Chain A
Amino acid sequence: MISEPLWANLWIAGFLTNHKRLLWAYWAFLKSDKLTRNQKKVLSILSLDVLLIPLPGAVISLNRMLGNLAVIEASALRIPVVGLLDSNVSGGFLMYPVPSNDDSFKVMFFYVLFFSKIILVGKMTRLVSFTNIKKYNRSNKDKKYMKLYNSKFDFDNKLFNVLNKYRIITNK
């Protein structure tokens, strides 16, 4: 729903600090003739596609111990890092620490839910504040979110029509 990138793999050293060089290497690797079509397809599905996005505006690390390199690289580039701080880890390199437990899945779900909610609210406010901008100034990303925003209102009508069609509810 919020369409933000997620790194759920072993961290590649230099992903943030050496981003441009890694991107070129990946691009050359995909374009090389030695790979078969299926290999390219498999590679494109892999999480290395995260390289194709520009540098992030903020980083959220859900575990300081395991996401160690990510936090250090982000802090080197002055990218704001939001992270959960458990009582057994040091608080270095975190710009915005949130002292809490970070071991259980329940806690992680709790925080990811709230972080995603605030990101959604930010995107919605952007939409509302930028509706008066002329059409040619809108980016494709804005248009996508506007479509999503409008589809929320269409959904009720569509559901009502479907339910009516199959006689689940009756329109009296």
Chain B
Amino acid sequence: MITLGSSTFLYIGFHQLLANGMHLGHNVRSANLLLNKFFVGRRFSVIILNLLTSVLNLRRSFLVLFGTAVSRGFILFVMPV
């Protein structure tokens, strides 16, 4: 999908996200309503995420990181403690 350098090296798609278990969200009670645009629907009160939009957003974020790396900027990772 991403054709920067080698496409096979950086392939991210729908199936990669599905295989890593990213299609399910939280319970309906704890869900934030601001994120409705990312949801597809619900099954047994569990939210199901829209993976296609998440892939598109991932690609957008990749372009930003790629640009900062090319322009010799630092990229700070913030881990949860």
Contact = CB atoms under 8 A, between A and B. Distances in A.
Interface of A: 4-11, 50, 53-63, 65-67, 70-71, 80, 82, 85-92, 96-101, 104, 106-108, 110, 112, 114-115, 117-126, 129, 139, 141
B9 interface: yes
A99 B49 contact: yes
Interface residues on B, range: 35 or more
A54 to B, nearest CB: 7
A5 B78 CA distance: 9
Nearest to A54: B74
Contact of B35 (A91, A101, A114): A91
Given A98-B58, A117-B9, A118-B62, A60 B17 contact: no
A58 B76 contact: yes
Interface in B21-69: 21-22, 24-26, 30-32, 34-35, 38-39, 47, 49-50, 53-54, 57-58, 60-62, 64-69
24 contacts: A5-B75, A7-B77, A55-B74, A56-B75, A58-B76, A62-B78, A63-B80, A67-B79, A88-B25, A88-B26, A91-B34, A91-B35, A98-B57, A98-B58, A99-B54, A106-B20, A106-B21, A118-B62, A118-B65, A119-B75, A121-B9, A121-B69, A122-B69, A129-B70
Contact of B69 (A5, A67, A123): A123
A66 B30 CA distance: 17
Contact of B26 (A59, A87, A106, A123): A87
Nearest to A141: B72
A5 B77 contact: yes
Given A8-B79, A61-B78, A62-B77, A119 B20 contact: no
Residue among A6, A91, A100 with most chain B CB within 10 A: A100
Contacts of B78: 7, 11, 59-62, 67, 70-71
A91 B78 CA distance: 17
Contact of B61 (A7, A71, A98): A98
Nearest to A106: B20
Contacts of A125: 4-5, 66, 70
B34 to A, nearest CB: 5
Nearest to B47: A87
A154 B81 CA distance: 39
Contact of B76 (A5, A66, A107, A114): A5
